[in-house]
Amino acid sequence: MTVLLFGATGMVGHGALNAALADRRVSRVVTVGRRATGREHPTLEEIVHADMTDLGPLADRLIEVDACLFCLGVSAAGMSEADYRRVTYDLTLAVARQLAGRNPDMTFVYVSGQGTDAGGRAMWARVKGETEKALLALPFRAVVNARPGFIQPVGGAVSRTALYRAIYTAMAPLMPLFRRVLTRHYLDTDQLGRALVEAGLTGAPEATLEVPDLQALAARAEPHAQTA
Ligand X SMILES: NC(=O)c1ccc[n+]([C@@H]2O[C@H](COP(=O)([O-])OP(=O)(O)OC[C@H]3O[C@@H](n4cnc5c(N)ncnc54)[C@H](OP(=O)(O)O)[C@@H]3O)[C@@H](O)[C@H]2O)c1
Q: At its nearest, how many Å lie between ligand X and the CB of residue 223?
A: 26
| Strand pairing report for 28-33 and 2-6 | parallel
Nearer to ligand X, 72 or 201 (CB): 72
Q: Look at residues 94, 66, 76 and name the one whose alpha carbon lies nearest to residue 1.
A: 66
Count the alpha carbons within 13 Å of 42 in the hemisphere toward its beta carbon.
6
Nearer to ligand X, 27 or 191 (CB): 191
CA distance 184 to 182: 6
User: Exposed, middle or buried, 226 (CB in 10 Å: 0-12/13-18/19+)?
Assistant: exposed
Nearer to ligand X, 25 or 216 (CB): 216
Nearer to ligand X, 164 or 178 (CB): 164
What three-state secondary structure class fits 111? Answer: strand
Listed in order, strand segments (DSSP E) in 67-174 are: 67-70, 107-111, 142-146, 150-152
Q: At its nearest, how many Å lie between ligand X and the CB of residue 6?
A: 7
Q: At its nearest, how many Å lie between ligand X and the CB of residue 199?
A: 14
Q: At its nearest, how many Å lie between ligand X and the CB of residue 201?
A: 20
Write out the residues near ligand X by the rule CB under 6 A: 7, 9-13, 33-35, 52, 71-74, 87, 91, 111, 113, 148, 151, 159-161, 164
Nearer to ligand X, 37 or 202 (CB): 37
Q: At its nearest, how many Å lie between ligand X and the CB of residue 136?
A: 17
